[in-house]
Structure 1
């Protein structure tokens, strides 16, 4: 017998393609277009004017939150002048009060109760009075500490210490 030449079979190459990189790129493109689509949407903010409850010729509008603001002017000789609202159209006219339980503490508790009742009637319960404390250059550090203690005692958490006086407030301090 003769040896017949055997047919040489060609080896089949592995035709498998690794698509891992393609999947990663496609996910990155999907995420990119989702983010771009979300960021390109217009964002509009509602810009509104506060509701007026009364019309006044000088201001044009008497806003709800003016009833929530109480200003304390601190001066020398333990003098405190309080008013509520704006000075030129006050809700509570400016008056001088003393430090202590029957003075400023009583005024703060009464005003906070009125504001809490008023806020509850508007459908915004729990919004108490906001106190603006304005110590003058003549007031001493102890008076400021006493007022901050009164804020803690009365439970008023919304207050601010400001060192700016309007000309009307300066006249008021000079006259009282």
Structure 2
């Protein structure tokens, strides 16, 4: 531990105070530091990675056949820049059928008062909706993760990640003009 050693002073006629040297042994303190470090390393729980499971359907035997989605059941979300979500009810079949009416495009955001309310309202109107999620080129990966979180929060049973088609791009261009 610590010890005080007295230094011998030269003898002379005058009495002098003896100078004492101080030496501190740091070994016990280092031992204690390593014990505490080991204790906290072993008792700390590390952050566990959060993983969202996405169940992907099996591919059909014929690649040209897609699973049909009813016009009444569909809700299409288009994720854009800065957390903006454009959505419409039904399918945009302008590419397949030019005589089909163009859907009305609405805009909201990824907040709990935005997309979540749209999904809950759609569930009340249509008991088993199918949500089609599409992304614009400017959308970030975080926007897709947020949209998938909203699917889990609102307990959507059927949703799919779908690529944008030409009729969706034309619909977005028409809204911007």
Give TM-score scaled by structure 1 length. Answer: 0.52
**Structure-to-structure mapping, 1:121-140, within 5 angstroms:** 128-140=128-140
- Match of residue 85 from structure 1: 90
Distance 2:83 2:69 in 1: 32
> Structure 1: any 5+ residue segments left out of the alignment?
1-62, 117-127
Conservation of the 8 A alpha-carbon contact between 1:75 and 1:173: no
Provide the TM-score with structure 2 as the length reference: 0.52
The answer for unaligned runs of 5 or more in structure 2 is 1-67, 93-99
Displaced runs of 4 or more, over 2 A: 86-90, 171-176
Instruction: Give runs of aligned pairs for residues 5-84 of structure 1, distance below 5 A.
Output: 65-84=70-89
Change (3 A) 1:155 1:169: same
RMSD between superposed Cα atoms in Å: 2.1
Structure with the higher helix share, 1 or 2: 1
More off after superposition, 79-88 vs 136-145: 79-88
User: Which residue is equivalent to 1:143?
Assistant: 143
SS in structure 2 at match of 1:66? coil
Specify the alignment match of 2:168 in structure 1: 169
1:153 offset after TM fit, Å?
0.4
Aligned to 2:152: 152
Deviations 1:103-142 (CA, angstroms, capped at 9, x unpaired): 11001000111111xxxxxxxxxxx110000012210000
